[in-house]
Amino acid sequence: GNSVTQMEGPVTLSEEAFLTINCTYTATGYPSLFWYVQYPGEGLQLLLKATKADDKGSNKGFEATYRKETTSFHLEKGSVQVSDSAVYFCALSARGYSTLTFGKGTMLLVSP
């Protein structure tokens, strides 16, 4: 079946530090990949997506590259801000299916 594995949190960084949150997946065929973010007290927001191998999704300074050979979709940001503190979820939808399979989420805490 389909599954997503994320690094466990919390990830604690100082402002302006470099961020990487690892995500690997198992799926039949070539899924679409997503990162969602959940700020405290709010719903899930789509952060970025990639639909095929070597695609790079980007938004608000965050980037992730679809790596077929390593079945990975790691989230990166060059310089985090306190306002980036949230829970980040990696997710996939298998080719031809629209339902999402999520990882457990990684909490990011950024201190000034």
Partner 1 sequence: DTGVSQDPRHKITKRGQNVTFRCDPISEHNRLYWYRQTLGQGPEFLTYFQNEAQLEKSRLLSDRFSAERPKGSFSTLEIQRTEQGDSAMYLCASSLASSEAYEQYFGPGTRLTVT
Instruction: Please count the other Cβ atoms lying within 10 Å of the Cβ belonging to residue 100.
Output: 17
x/- site string to partner 1, residues 15 to 34, per CB under 8 A? -----------------x-x
Q: Residue 62: exposed, middle, or buried by beta-carbon count in 10 A (0-12, 13-18, 19+)?
A: buried
Q: Give dist(CA 36, CA 18) in Å, integer.
A: 19
Q: Which is nearer to partner 1, 16 or 104 (CB)?
A: 104
Q: Which of 23, 18, 20, 42 is nearest to 34 (CA)?
A: 23
CB 75, CB 87: distance < 8 Å: no
| Least distance (Å) between residue 107 CB and partner 1 | 9
Q: Which stretch binds partner 1 (CB under 8 A): 18-26, 45-53, 63-71, 72-80?
A: 45-53
- Confirm or reject binding of residue 62 to partner 1 (CB under 8 A): no
User: Which DSSP string corresponds to 89-100?
Assistant: EEEEE-TT----
- Confirm or reject binding of residue 1 to partner 1 (CB under 8 A): no
Q: Which is nearer to partner 1, 17 or 100 (CB)?
A: 100
Binding site for partner 1 (CB under 8 A): 4, 32, 34, 36, 42-46, 49, 51, 89, 91, 93, 98-105
